[in-house]
Amino acid sequence: MPRLLGVLGGMGPLATVDFLGKLIAENPAGRDQDHVPVITYSVPQIPCRVEAILGNGASPLPAMVAGLEVLARAGVEAVAIACNTAHFWYDDLARVSAVPILHIADAACADIAAGSCVGLLGTEAALQAGIYQSRLAARGVRSLVNAPELRARCVLPAISLVKQGRAAEAGRRLEPAIKDLLGQGAETVILACTELPVALDAIGSDYRRRVIDPARALARAAIAWSFA
Amino acid sequence: MPRLLGVLGGMGPLATVDFLGKLIAENPAGRDQDHVPVITYSVPQIPCRVEAILGNGASPLPAMVAGLEVLARAGVEAVAIACNTAHFWYDDLARVSAVPILHIADAACADIAAGSCVGLLGTEAALQAGIYQSRLAARGVRSLVNAPELRARCVLPAISLVKQGRAAEAGRRLEPAIKDLLGQGAETVILACTELPVALDAIGSDYRRRVIDPARALARAAIAWSFA
């Protein structure tokens, strides 16, 4: 029997559904019974993570802790969080959680070779949290970000459009930011916000071959954990 | 604050993800916080519903009851079940459930006019359960099914292909069964298995304009309930 996974979701709701889809798509199982058993807590009525990190709003930590407790009481043996920005509070969550929490950046960075150069796309808040930069530096990988102006023009609107269900528009808005990072010498680009892969998928973007989708990497890690 | 919905899923896992996507798509909300809060229990390690109804396997009822109990303890105020065939056990589940269970066939039949003729596509087991026929008859609506041979050739393979992640093949396999029902005089066709809309979506089928997707109808009912 595979182990029961908990998913702390709702940040946002569509990214959570996207993650659950990847948990199926990345598993070669042919039968229902061979898929990961999972309980998902997706309650989007939670303070905005971005505003909290930037110091403009209430902390989402109590709501996240409440979700973790519901999952642990329901019997999950580990938790995945389908939101990069929420990992800003990873250490606080891990300290109080009754079960281990799989880290999205550990999963995304697992296969990146030392000496390479990686671009990072995400909210200001996610980048400020530094969850990718610290792991990449520790592996001897250089990281690049867009200039703030380009980020404001491409990345934040793309995230917002996905949350509004306008994923194709989001994809077209996002592509120039990826092109910019590749032009600066990045060999691959980490899409450090769970909404961004949804945007590229919606337009079948060619850039998908040049990016790492942390949610997909987390799904693979969760499948490996469940069946270990 | 919208009310917390429970989803009893995993039957199958992809249909559950499809339902959660519809819970977002059918909601005009522009902000994360305006989406339905939901806890999803998706544990596919449960006896096959079809085999149980046909008398060839263990009952899935104890596993479904266990899932309901987890959801109720987690604080949900109503439950939706994203599987038509599972509604064979609706009365048994409703009897023991601490919270109301929204019925997928009530949602799907809500807008069908008296005097019309409706085709039904689903597993033998789902059709044998009669959850649609009884509701349609009560509304003065005639219902039609495919001949068993055509059903065996089109519908069951389509469901199986979706479960294997081969949704486009499933869509092509399914279309002749819909064409047959329309040719017999059905004005609309109820896709009484949650895998079937996934199949038609995968090929952008023109028949989508002639069908009712009970999962989509259930999602609308759940949104209305949550925000009532």
DSSP annotation string for B67-132: HHHHHHHTT-SEEEE--TGGGGGHHHHHHH-SS-EE-HHHHHHTTPPTT-EEEEE--HHHHHHTHH
Identify the residue among A40, A166, A223 best suited for mutation to test binding to B, counting B beta carbons within 10 A and taking the highest.
A40
Nearest to A101 by CA among A133, A124, A69: A69
Contacts B70 to A, Cβ<8 Å = 39, 74-75
Q: What tokens were used for A13?
A: 């709701």
Give the range among A166-180, B16-30, B58-72 with minimum mean pLDDT. B16-30
How many angstroms separate the CA atoms of A83 and A15, rounded? Answer: 7
Among residues A37, A113, A42, A50, the alpha carbon closest in space to that of A76 is found at A37
Are residues A74 and B73, on separate chains, in Cβ contact within 8 Å? Answer: yes
Residue A35 CA to residue A227 CA, distance in Å, equals 9
pLDDT at A98: 96
Residue B92 identity: D
User: Which of B115, B153, B128, B146 shows the shortest CA–CA distance to B55?
Assistant: B128
Minimum Cα–Cα distance from B69: chain A residue: A74
For position B134, what pLDDT does the model report? 93
Q: Please give the Cα distance from B19 to B12 (Å, whole number).
A: 11
A 41-80 residues inside an 8 A Cβ radius of B: 41-46, 70, 73-75
Residues from chain A that touch B33, judged by Cβ atoms under 8 A, are 44-46
Q: Quote the tokens at residue B205.
A: 């089928």
Kindly list the residues from chain B whose CB atom is less than 8 angstroms away from the CB atom of residue A35: 10, 12-13, 44
Probe site for chain A from B1, B32, B73, B76 (most A CB atoms < 10 A): B32
Choose among A17, A21, A43: nearest Cβ to B37: A43
In B146-187, beta strands by DSSP E: none
**B12 falls in which pLDDT band (50, 70, 90)?**
confident
Q: Are B42 and A17 in contact (CB under 8 A)?
A: no
Tens of pLDDT, residues B37-72 = 999 999 999 998 888 988 889 999 999 999 999 999
pLDDT in tens, A75-122: 999 999 989 989 999 999 999 999 999 999 999 999 899 999 999 998
pLDDT at A15 over 90: no
Is it the case that residue B86 has pLDDT exceeding 90? yes
CA distance linking residue B219 with residue B116, whole number of Å = 24
Sign of CA dihedral A67, B19, B80, B26: positive
Across the interface, whether the CB atoms of A17 and B16 are under 8 A apart is answered no
Q: Residues of chain A with pLDDT > 90: what percent?
A: 82
Cβ neighbours for B119, distance < 8 A, ≥ 6 positions apart: B143, B144, B145, B146, B178, B181, B182, B184, B186, B188, B189, B190
Whether the CB of A212 is below 8 Å from some CB of chain B: the reply is no
- Token pair of A181 as six digits: 């990072």
Cis preceding linkage at B12, omega within 30: yes
Contacts of A78 (CB under 8 A, 6+ apart): A3, A5, A6, A99, A100, A101, A102, A222, A225
Alpha carbon separation from A36 to A4, A40, A225, B227 (Å, rounded)? 7, 12, 10, 31
Distance (Å) from the C-alpha of residue B60 to the closest C-alpha of chain A? 13
pLDDT at B162: 87
Q: Scanning the structure block, which residue is given the tokens 């079940």?
A: B81
Q: Are the C-beta atoms of B8 and B68 separated by less than 8 Å?
A: yes
Is A41 a residue whose pLDDT tops 90? yes
Q: Are A227 and A37 in contact (CB under 8 A)?
A: no
Give residue B124's pLDDT: 81
| ipTM score for this prediction | 0.92
Asked whether A225 and A5 are in contact (CB, 8 A), the reply is yes
| CA dihedral for A45, A49, A55, A61, sign (positive or negative) | positive
Determine, for residues B43 and A4 on separate chains, whether the beta-carbon distance falls below 8 Å.
yes
Contact B38 A42 (CB under 8 A): yes
B121 Cβ contact partners less than 8 Å away, ≥ 6 residues apart: B145, B146, B151, B155, B174, B177, B178, B181, B189, B190, B191, B192, B193, B196
Residue B30 has pLDDT above 80, yes or no: no
Report pLDDT for A14: 86
CA dist list (Å): B160 to B89, B125, B132: 22, 14, 22
pLDDT at A12: 86
Q: Helix (H, G, I), strand (E, B), or coil: what is residue A192?
A: coil
pTM of this structure: 0.92
- A-chain residues within 8 Å CB-CB of B41? 39, 74
- The alpha carbon torsion through B24, B27, B29, B32 (nearest 10 deg) reads -20
Angle, vertex CA A30, rays to CA A206 and CA B60, nearest 5: 130
pLDDT for B112 beyond 90: yes
Task: Give the whole-angstrom CA distance, residue B70 versus residue A72.
Answer: 11
What average pLDDT does range A126-134 have in this prediction?
A: 88
Q: Touching check for A33 and chain B: CB below 8 Å?
A: yes
When pLDDT is cut at 50, 70 and 90, the band that residue B175 belongs to is very high
